Structure 1
């Protein structure tokens, strides 16, 4: 569906994020059916107003609670407006001119079985006085498994290497390691993955940056359902479940204290329920 006022690049990016959302949701629902669960995603739309009172776009929150996916959210949004002067100073290309456009997909899955790693993925396209793509995908196992971590990293590495002119896997992997770090705990949030930002997409650079961002989405869709299927039938103990809940507490701390996506959504008038879908359904602190 075309949205009024979007240029070709904005529309193409928005349409891709919606199509990726649809395929991910179908893949996750298929896994639930394999576990004899009839869980399905429930979708709710939301709209926002800009600070001036003008229409500022909105999005759709997709949420499923099932037998395998204890809680998984897959959101898409397309918003525009004007940053506050203070927040504009923190955004690439917005210091002098605070108008912005942003579209993207954001996903967080918290799993019922502690042997199945939680996961986070988002990719986005932003326009200020600059145009760029950013994104990340990172694995968060309560009980680390080297086989799963290697599979995840190998798949993301292949996506980067297929676009080596603009994507640098060692750099993006280090970036994820640095970004997904909990300073007050002095631990990494999980097993890492990739993180990239400010991948320039103005004029002729758009096609290569967009192609890489699509590759990240395809890589995620290939690797994560495979990992889930490998682990979802594993038996687990009450101690292992306790370990998962404690790890979720740290995940929540990071998202509430440090995550830039959470801050961006709240600072731009996004839907709080959609933004905070990243929080786990159960967690403990000790």
Structure 2
């Protein structure tokens, strides 16, 4: 059995909050600085922040978080940066108990859990600017703890140099943790973000890990932090470069169709979406990842 790990939980939750604050500030700065090109005549977007709550079946507090969403900005059509810290009994709602506990050792005997993380999805105004996803999290039970998450790029109009930059930043931040780590997490992302019923990936990949527990909490936490630190230098330069490009109706059509692909993945395959809904977290926060508009052909 693991210890309660109160200090480690507090440090992880605090880090996710710090990362959230840095990203929100950077995204609002992008909005303020966009003064030429498409959508620059609109008011700069700002995040609307609301608390989310999770309540146990007996009405007791079971954690919650912050949902930060920006809609209709100059650069971002919809972006959410959510953090959460939830706890209680996994699968306490009878209809979800088996699904939520599946594959987690020891949960049949002691189903207590704690989880905290950050989740980000950005859908952009300009079709030349790639959509993006990032999340990192820590999960604890009386029997185990682990980290998970990563980030991946989802352009509807692909630029090889953008893909190369995004991956280079991931590699740069992962290499200090072992030269073999980036190739393994890249391959994992390629497998995880694949859409079987479409026979294709949902984007151009990135990095992904799950169930990360080497036995060295400090080392695994440091890796998780560097996955988060890689995000802004990997993504911001792409936004700054592409947000000024003109686009036409054909480009916008490609964006809407690609968003349909993104929605299919998140609703059918994404592990985080399933976990959030199965454990009773705020549905609006869980489904924040869905695009504001999409199209199917």
The TM tier, using the shorter chain, reads: over 0.9
**Residue in 1 aligned with 2:78?**
71
Unpaired runs of 5+ in structure 2? 36-42, 92-96
Alignment of 1:1-286 (within 5 A): 7-36=6-35, 37-65=43-71, 66-84=73-91, 85-86=97-98, 87-91=100-104, 94-128=107-141, 129-164=143-178, 168-200=181-213, 202=215, 205-286=216-297
2 CA distance for matches of 1:188 and 1:96? 38
2:214 and 2:11 map into 1 onto residues whose CA distance is 13
How far is 1:230 from its partner? 1.0
Matched residues in 2 for 1:211 and 1:97: separation?
A: 29
Partner SS for 1:38 = coil
Partners of 1:231 and 1:93 lie apart in 2 by 49
Give CA-to-partner distance per residue, 1:20-65, whole Å, 9 cap, x none: 0001000000000011443111100011112343210001100012
Structure with the larger RCO, 1 or 2 (CA within 8 Å, 6+ apart): 2
TM (normalized to structure 2)? 0.90
- In structure 2, what is the Cα distance between the partners aligned to 1:93 and 1:170? 32
Q: Quick one: structure 1 residues 105 and 172, their matched pair in 2 at CA, closer, same or farther if it must change by over 3 Å?
A: same
Q: Deviations over 1:171-212 (max 9, x none)?
A: 11111011101111111000000000111165xx11111111
Judging changes above 3 Å, is the alpha-carbon distance between structure 1 residues 229 and 25 closer, same or farther for their aligned structure 2 residues? same
Q: Is the 8 A contact 1:51 1:82 kept in 2?
A: no
Tell me if structure 2 keeps the 8 A contact 1:50–1:80.
no
Q: Is residue 92–residue 198 contact of structure 1 (8 Å, CA) maintained in 2? A: no
Q: Which runs of 5+ in 1 are unaligned?
A: none
- Report if the CA contact (8 A) 1:21-1:105 is conserved: yes
CA RMSD of aligned residues (A): 1.5
State how far apart, in whole Å, the 2-side matches of 1:97 and 1:179 are: 29
1:95, CA displacement in angstroms? Answer: 4.5
1:94 deviates by 3.1
Cα contact 1:49–1:56 (8 A) shared by 2: yes
Cα deviation, 1:208-230, whole Å, max 9, x if unaligned, reads: 11111111111102121111001
> Per-residue CA shift, 1:82-141, capped at 9, x if unaligned?
112402123355354321100000000000111110000000000011111111100000
Q: 1:35 to 1:147 in 2, by over 3 A?
A: same
Q: Secondary structure at the match of 1:162?
A: helix
**Conserved? CA contact 2:170–2:206, under 8 Å:** yes
- What count of residue pairs does the alignment treat as equivalent? 279
CA contact (8 A) 2:167 2:234 kept: no
